[in-house]
Amino acid sequence: MKAVKSYSTLCKTALWEAKHEPYYRTDFGAAYLGDARQLLASLPEKSVSLVITSPPFALRTKKNYGNPDAEHYGDWFRPFAREVQRVLKDDGSFVIEIGGAWTPRQPTRSLYQYELLIDLVRTLGYHLAQEFFWFNPAKMPGPAQWVTIDRIRCTDAVSTIWWETVVSRLVRHLSTS
Ligand SMILES: C[S@@+](CC[C@H](N)C(=O)[O-])C[C@H]1O[C@@H](n2cnc3c(N)ncnc32)[C@H](O)[C@@H]1O
């Protein structure tokens, strides 16, 4: 039964590839350009081993590509996360590199990336496989007022990385493989 299912997913994936023109292709695979929500929605279910993303962060500074604020971050991210959950294979992983942000107008940190993690687990049913803290000393010092003028805060030098799994499916997968 499992082999039949994998064969059907392979056929659906091949059909998907035949219908979509890659942005570029190398010997290692193809890259597709588009809105991730639409591309994900077009993919067959349980056909992807790994989704890795560095989404827009909830920074105080607004970017041209559009970055949601901390208050609305979960509402913005949930549709992506639902689609990812649908397309992930039973042993699939969802890895999110998500930088921290300052609270607007005060020298304190937002908790939005931790709230996102809890939302993914409590609301959507993901499980935290493992967390990573990426030490990145190349970040710009800021906000200038608190980091370089008043010097009451340090330069932010860490990004969090949440490695998510759909563990109920993973456990089933491990016990049947
Ligand atoms: C935080 S930046 C990623 C930065 C990147 N990790 C780097 O180090 O340069 C977020 C990226 O997500 C892209 N993006 C935003 N919304 C998107 C969407 N709906 N689908 C696909 N990409 C999107 C933006 O264009 C932007 O390039």
pLDDT (tens digit per residue) in 86-137: 999 999 999 999 999 999 999 999 999 999 999 999 999 999 999 999 999 9
CA of 22 to the centre of ligand 1 (A): 18
- Please count the CA atoms within 13 angstroms of the CA of 49 that sit on its side-chain side: 2
Instruction: Report CA(65)–ligand 1 centroid distance (Å).
Output: 7
Pick the atom of ligand 1 nearest to 54's CA: 6
- The reported pTM is 0.91
The domain spans of the chain are: 45-176
pLDDT at 1 over 90: no
Q: Which of 43, 65, 97 to mutate to test the pocket of ligand 1 (most atoms within 8 A of CB)?
A: 65
**CATH fold of the domain at 45-176:** Rossmann fold (3.40.50)
Long-range CB pairs of 173-177, under 8 A, 24+ apart, other chains included:
173/89, 173/90, 173/91, 174/91, 176/2
pLDDT, one tens digit per residue, over 37-88 is 999 999 999 999 999 999 999 998 899 999 999 999 999 999 999 999 999 9
Query: How confident is the model at residue 85, as a pLDDT?
Result: 96
